[in-house]
Amino acid sequence: MSTIFCGIDWAEGHHDIPLVDQNGTQVAKLRISDDSAGFQALTALLAQHGDTAEAQIPVAIETPRGLLVACLRATGRQIYAINPLAAARYRDRGSVSRAKSDAADARVLANILRTDRHAHRPLPADSEAGQAVAALARAHQDAVWDRQQMINRLRSHLREYYPAALVAFHGPGKPGLDSPRARMILASAPTPADAAKLTRSQLRALLKRTARPRCGIDTEVERLREIFRADSLRQLPKVELALGHKAATLIQQLDAACNSVAQLAAATEEAFLAHPDAGVITSFPGLSVLSGARVLAEIGDDRERFADARAVKAYAGAAPVTRASGRSHVVVARAVKNQRLAAAGYMWAFAALRTEAPRAHYDRRRAGGERHTAALRNLFNKLLGCLYHCLQNRAHYDPDRAFAVPLDIAA
């Protein structure tokens, strides 16, 4: 057990670093620059105070990201990412004057490790391949969210002057505003006036440049002509033209967002399929390559990260929270959780309903009085626990073991 503890108050241009001993006495302090020279100064300071490969000094910092954290992780030492809200509470513990400085904040972080190291978890020791999958999967998820924001912006804009575009491409059974077909036609005809002038041959040429519609090109041409030439409310001509210019820029941004999603999806799939856990994860019902990559990105491949299956379920928000005080006793859904993993888990459980065993489990929960969301969350809880044990034992999904028939039902 280390007798020296390090805290880092990070900033964009510099970092404040104190070292404290087991009695809380500050034995050293240093301000380093955010570059290679600063990192070398930090490692030299740690070495001067007993840091070795066998007994490394632990570090507390308020962020799990950044070049400094990545380089510290590469040394193999334990790094504790302390939540800034938790660090603020610890600051009040030592002083009620509300005084604040970077050096004092760094000292608070070091003292958190000295007094409550057991109550905080170090950053997981994920492999390089696992960290690469996490970076790509999160980037792809962000790109999907960005694309949806662009779709919403374009839809809101088209409602102001171009309702025919929404009738043609937006809604159930329609290709969607983000489809290549919609983007191609709207880029060529960004105003209702332009759309009404499109001839059959022009529409046919545009449709041939994208994926062919299921109904056939000629049928789609006639459908679009009928929509674009129908009577509708219109803006004044100059206003309509101005709004068309804005729509053209929004479509260009949507094109870029769609291309980003496609490129990141391909890179994510390639990195995930090369990971040794890919076969186990994709053996589960409801998990595709991309959704499996998202799950791996959040749980990582460090087998010591979670103490047991209950810990990973709580981390994902699949396990409920019990609040008991006096005569009050309620069980509610967990609000503090990994939002990315919870979002992936909802889609995972929903997709798993297509298979027999998960569907039977979901139906039993519904028959017991649970709402759809609660039953789906319970199914995610069940699947996540199974995944934890499969990864620990390097075993593939087995529905007979994962969803064994309850004894009371079997009887």
Per-residue pLDDT averaged across 48-53, rounded? 89
> Average pLDDT of 330-335?
86
Q: Tell the residue number behind the tokens 């077909």, with chain if given.
A: 181
Tens of pLDDT along 118-154? 888 899 989 999 999 999 999 999 999 999 999 999 9
DSSP 86-149: HHHHHHHHH-SS----HHHHHHHHHHHHHHHGGGSPBPP---HHHHHHHHHHHHHHHHHHHHHH
286 or 214, which is more confident?
Answer: 286
What is the structure's pLDDT at 411? Answer: 45
Flag whether pLDDT at 158 surpasses 70: yes
Q: Indicate whether 353 pLDDT > 90.
A: yes
Task: Reply yes or no on whether the pLDDT at 197 is more than 60.
Answer: yes
Task: Report whether pLDDT(408) > 70.
Answer: no
In which band, very low, low, confident or very high, does the pLDDT at 2 lie, cut at 50, 70 and 90? low
pLDDT at 322: 87
Angstrom distance (rounded) from CA 201 to CA 191: 19
How far lies 211's CA from each of 53, 206, 224, in Å? 58, 10, 16
Kindly report the average pLDDT of the chain as a whole number.
91
d(CA 205, CA 224): 13
Q: Which helix (H) or strand (E) holds 20?
A: strand 14-21
Residue 1 has pLDDT above 60, yes or no: no
**Could you tell me the CA-to-CA distances from 333 to 187, 306, 322, 351 in Å, in that order?**
45, 20, 9, 21
How many residues make up the chain in this entry?
411
Alpha helices in 170-216 (DSSP H): 180-188, 192-197, 200-208
250 vs 83, residue with greater confidence: 250
Tokens of 83: 């939540």
Tell me, what's the pLDDT at 405? 67
Which long-range contacts (C-beta less than 8 Å, at least 24 apart) are formed by 64-73?
64/123, 66/10, 67/34, 68/8, 68/10, 68/15, 68/34, 68/38, 68/39, 69/123, 71/39, 73/123, 73/125
| Single-letter residue type at 23 | N
pTM for the complete prediction? 0.86
Predicted pLDDT at 75 = 87
Among 144, 125, 74, which residue's Cα sits nearest to residue 294?
Answer: 144
In the predicted model, is pLDDT for residue 98 greater than 80?
no
Say whether 186 sits in a helix, a strand or coil. Answer: helix
Is a pLDDT exceeding 70 seen at residue 161?
A: yes
CB 265 within 8 A of CB 140: yes
pLDDT grade for 229, boundaries at 50, 70 and 90: very high
Percent of the chain's residues with pLDDT above 70: 96
- pLDDT value, residue 102: 84
Q: Which residues pair with 330 in a beta bridge?
A: 323
Amino acid at 87: A
pLDDT value for 97:
67
State pLDDT tens for residues 171-180. 898 899 999 9
Name the DSSP letter for residue 273: H
Residue 407 has pLDDT above 70, yes or no: no
Residue 323: pLDDT above 90? Answer: no
Q: Render pLDDT for 366-394 as a digit per residue (tens, 0 to 9).
A: 999 999 999 999 999 999 999 999 999 99
pLDDT beyond 70 at 320: yes
pLDDT band of residue 242 (cuts 50, 70, 90) is: very high
Give residue 31's pLDDT: 93
What crossing angle do the helices spanning 309-316 and 372-393 adopt, rounded to 10°?
Answer: 140
